[in-house]
Amino acid sequence: MSRLGGGDPNFCPDCGNVLPLPGISDSVCCPRCSFFIPVAEFSGQEVRSTVVFNPAEDSSVALEEDEGAELKGPVIDRRCSRCNKEGMVYHTRQMRSADEGQTVFFTCVHCRFQEKEDS
């Protein structure tokens, strides 16, 4: 029987840490605890993954295009530069490289004017 005990082969059964991928060595060692397992234990195991995309009608892009849609998200006390009323919904996106800040998009709950702010 496998020392992984039928659990997820990506995780250490002793401490739960992510196990590194097998390399040149004939065993896989947990970087957190003393657990190790021979690479042969992974023989015949199949790894499958699934990617599930959100339906188009649930995406924020669809909300921005549909004027009748209700805005979703946190409302903050920010004054709209177009209608001068308080209350804007915001969301963030990583538009540039990962080492730069996120871009914050604000939408007025009254007139739906959109602003963006780079952080």
Task: Tell me which residue has tokens 């992974």.
Answer: 42
Statement: residue 65 has pLDDT above 60: no
Domain ranges of the chain: 9-45, 75-118
> Quick one: DSSP state of residue 57?
G
Q: Do residues 3 and 13 lie in contact, with contact meaning Cβ atoms separated by under 8 Å? A: yes
Looking at the chain, the whole-number percentage of residues with pLDDT higher than 90 is 25
Q: Do residues 45 and 2 lie in contact, with contact meaning Cβ atoms separated by under 8 Å? A: no
Could you tell me which CATH number the domain at 75-118 has? 2.20.25.10
Q: What is the mean pLDDT of residues 78-83?
A: 94
Q: Categorize the per-residue pLDDT at 1 as very low, low, confident or very high, splitting at 50, 70 and 90.
A: very low
State yes or no: 29 annotated in a binding site: no
State yes or no: 108 annotated in a binding site: yes
| Residue 78 CB-half CA count within 13 A | 20
Structure tokens at 92: 């963030």
Statement: residue 64 has pLDDT above 60: no
Which range among 53-57, 60-64, 85-89, 93-97 shows the weakest confidence by mean pLDDT? 60-64
Q: Which amino acid is at 48?
A: R
More confident residue, 9 or 95: 95
pLDDT digits (tens, 9 = 90+) for 2-18: 565 556 777 888 888 88
